[in-house]
Amino acid sequence: MEQMFYEKLIRIIPEKRVLRDEVMKKHTTFRVGGPADFFVMPGSREELRDITVLCKSEGMPYYIMGNGSNLLVSDRGYRGVIIQIYREMSMITVDENQITAGAGALLSKIAGSALEAGLTGFEFAAGIPGTLGGACMMNAGAYGGEMKDVLKEVTVLTPEGEFTVIPAGELDMGYRTSVIEKKGYVVLEAVIALEKGEHESIRKRMEELREKRVSKQPLEYPSAGSTFKRPEGYFAGKLIEDAGLRGYRTGGAQVSEKHCGFVINTGNAEAKDIMELMKQVSERVMEKSGVLLEPEVRRLGDF
């Protein structure tokens, strides 16, 4: 069964971009996760569409990811196909005050292109460790900026296998959500509209934000960024600190001493450690403050 499916896959996409039993810790910023049955890296929207059509027709589960910066994969891995939209779909072009980029482009690379072109408005995203596709779907934001502030339009693949362009005004972007997620669309590329700015002031702003991140976030450890969503009217990190959990550990997973909003892998964590720690943190915060912490990190596989 798996061999037949593999043979069908490599008719769609070159064999070198189809990996079997690929260990997911190589592809997540948490650096944990067991093997996926198939790990494929499409290089075009047509390949992506054809792979999803094949998976649906064969009843094969699939999951679409970027660079794994917001993903916790089970130690048991994933029974199905991981479709990674990353380096193979990461082109970036600049035209006047607009940047068009593939869904696999890193936000840091797009910010670099904006700086080079003297375009301002994307500085907030320079240090977010994710790809454009995930950022559009989740309306990624930091330091007062959000994707909804700069998006002009997004090209998506619909669940029906069609390519369509959605203007930014129809994306219904809110806190860590959008119509893209609600309707099961897959981002293919996006157009970002910025303003002309002064190169040196753009660079200085990026440097300021970088220094803030380095001083306040545990960037020296594997993590998935902010582990929990921000509850309305509160800050997750403050709630966790107030619950007495700074530095709290389960196995190799730890609440960062530098920033309590981050769960980190101290070097030998397994996904089950991170999952258990997240559960204990949520329970303790609920006991202490009566606030429900919801995970921002996406979980994949059986825990």
Question: For the segment 229-241, what is each residue's pLDDT rounded down to a tens digit?
Answer: 999 999 999 999 9
Over residues 125-146, the pLDDT tens digits come to: 999 989 999 999 999 998 889 9
What's the CA gap between 116 and 290, in Å, rounded?
47
What pLDDT score was predicted for residue 130? 93
Q: Which of 181, 296, 298, 299 is catalytic?
A: 296
10 Å CB burial of residue 160 (0-12, 13-18, 19+) is exposed
What pLDDT score was predicted for residue 203? 96
What pLDDT score was predicted for residue 252? 97
Q: Which of 74, 90, 223, 226 is catalytic?
A: 226
What pLDDT score was predicted for residue 175? 83
Query: What domains can you pick out in the chain, each with its CATH number?
Result: 2-87 (3.30.43.10), 90-215 (3.30.465.10), 218-300 (3.90.78.10)
**What Rg, from alpha-carbon coordinates, does the chain have?**
20
Over residues 235-287, the pLDDT tens digits come to: 999 999 999 999 999 999 999 999 999 999 999 999 999 999 999 999 999 99
**How much is the average pLDDT of 178-190?**
96
Lowest mean pLDDT among 61-65, 140-144, 186-190: 140-144
pTM: 0.94
What pLDDT score was predicted for residue 114? 98
What pLDDT score was predicted for residue 260? 97
Q: Residue 226 catalytic?
A: yes
Q: Which two tokens stand for residue 229?
A: 């969503």
Q: Work out the percent of the chain whose per-residue pLDDT is above 90.
A: 96
E strands along the chain, which residues? 18-23, 35-40, 62-65, 71-73, 78-84, 92-95, 98-102, 119-120, 141-142, 145-146, 151-157, 163-167, 186-193, 195-196, 249-250, 253-255, 263-265, 298-300
> Model confidence at 177, in pLDDT bands (50, 70, 90)?
confident
Is the pLDDT score of 205 beyond 90?
Answer: yes
Residue 214: name the closest of 112, 127, 115 by CA: 127
What pLDDT score was predicted for residue 28? 98
Is the pLDDT score of 1 beyond 90?
Answer: no
Q: Residue 74 catalytic?
A: no
What pLDDT score was predicted for residue 176? 81
Is the pLDDT score of 182 beyond 90?
Answer: yes
Q: Which of 45, 49, 176, 284 is catalytic?
A: 176
Give the angle 283-79-71 at the CA atoms, nearest 5°: 45
Q: Which two tokens stand for residue 24?
A: 């997911």
Q: Residue 49 catalytic?
A: no
**How much is the average pLDDT of 79-92?**
97
Over residues 282-301, the pLDDT tens digits come to: 999 999 999 999 999 999 99
Lowest mean pLDDT among 31-45, 170-184, 191-205: 170-184
Ramachandran assignment for 198, one of left (phi > 0), alpha (psi -120 to 50 degrees), beta (any other): beta
What's the CA gap between 27 and 224, in Å, rounded?
12
- Alpha-helical (H) ranges within the chain are 2-12, 45-58, 107-116, 132-138, 179-182, 199-216, 236-242, 271-289
What's the CA gap between 165 and 189, in Å, rounded?
9
> Model confidence at 197, in pLDDT bands (50, 70, 90)?
very high
Is the pLDDT score of 202 beyond 90?
Answer: yes
Is the pLDDT score of 97 beyond 90?
Answer: yes
Is the pLDDT score of 149 beyond 90?
Answer: yes
